């Protein structure tokens, strides 16, 4: 099975870190084959940023995400630009506080990740809230693998905050499933 994931936003949101967490969880802890590529504008903050992750049960022979199965958008421009590439049966996940989807787009799910991160006390963990939601909503990697990836990747002094942000996103995805 091959799953193509694209996470997009703007520089400073931790988009590349989100991709690294997903890739690390899938490859090191769930023992899957993974390819990660990233793209970002020349600006240090505020320019477009995206990361593409391919997760497969077999070696990956084509390294580009062409039609994502899962698209995560944390910026309106990313949604407008990348949404047309999403597979017809794909999953669209949005930071609903920053992205307003087309009313006709019935395929989207999401949460106000940036607002939730503010409530946790650090806006900078919005990407990890979104990562938790992504994992809970899609099950693309296991919870255990994701938590191990977070604990081994972020700065030691921020592990607890990041794990709390992840758990919050995961919980919000669980609420969606219960509806």
Which helix (DSSP H) or strand (DSSP E) does residue 137 occupy? helix 126-138
Between these two residues, 160 and 45, which has the higher pLDDT value? Answer: 160
Averaged pLDDT, 59-81: 93
Q: What is the pLDDT of residue 178?
A: 44
Angle at 179 between CA 169 and CA 14, to 5 degrees: 20
At residue 45, does pLDDT exceed 70?
A: no
Q: What is the pLDDT of residue 42?
A: 59
Q: List, in order of start, the domains of the chain with CATH numbers.
A: 2-178 (3.40.920.10)
Q: Is the Cβ–Cβ distance between 70 and 4 less than 8 Å?
A: yes
Q: Where are the beta strands (DSSP E) in the chain?
A: 2-10, 33-40, 48-56, 70-73, 91-95, 108-111
**Residue 176: which pLDDT band, with cuts at 50, 70 and 90?**
low
Q: Is the Cβ–Cβ distance between 134 and 93 less than 8 Å?
A: yes
**Residue 107: which pLDDT band, with cuts at 50, 70 and 90?**
confident
Q: What is the pLDDT of residue 164?
A: 97
Residue range 111-151, pLDDT digits in tens: 999 999 999 999 999 999 999 999 999 999 999 999 999 99
- Please give the share of the chain, as a percent, with pLDDT higher than 70: 94
Output b/e per residue, 68-106; b: 16+ Cβ within 10 A: bbbbbbbbbebbeebbeebeeebbbbbbbbbbebeeeee
Q: What is the pLDDT of residue 11?
A: 82
């Amino acid at each position: 099975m091959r799953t193509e994931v694209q996470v997009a936003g703007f520089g400073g949101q931790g988009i590349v870190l989100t991709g690294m967490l997903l890739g690390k969880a899938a490859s090191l802890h769930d023992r899957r084959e993974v390819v990660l590529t990233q793209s970002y504008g020349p600006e240090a903050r505020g320019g477009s940023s995206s990361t593409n992750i391919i997760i497969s049960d077999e070696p990956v022979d084509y390294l580009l995400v062409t039609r994502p199965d899962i698209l995560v958008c944390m910026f309106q421009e990313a949604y407008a630009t990348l949404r047309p590439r999403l597979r017809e049966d794909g999953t669209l996940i949005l930071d609903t506080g920053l992205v307003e989807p087309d009313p006709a787009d019935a395929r989207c799910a999401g949460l106000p990740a940036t607002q939730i991160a503010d409530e946790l006390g650090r806006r900078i963990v919005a990407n990890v809230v979104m990562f938790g939601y992504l994992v809970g909503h899609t099950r693309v990697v296991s919870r255990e693998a994701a938590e191990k990836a977070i604990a081994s990747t972020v700065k030691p002094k921020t592990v607890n905050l990041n794990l709390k942000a992840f758990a919050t996103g995961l919980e919000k995805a669980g609420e969606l499933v219960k509806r």
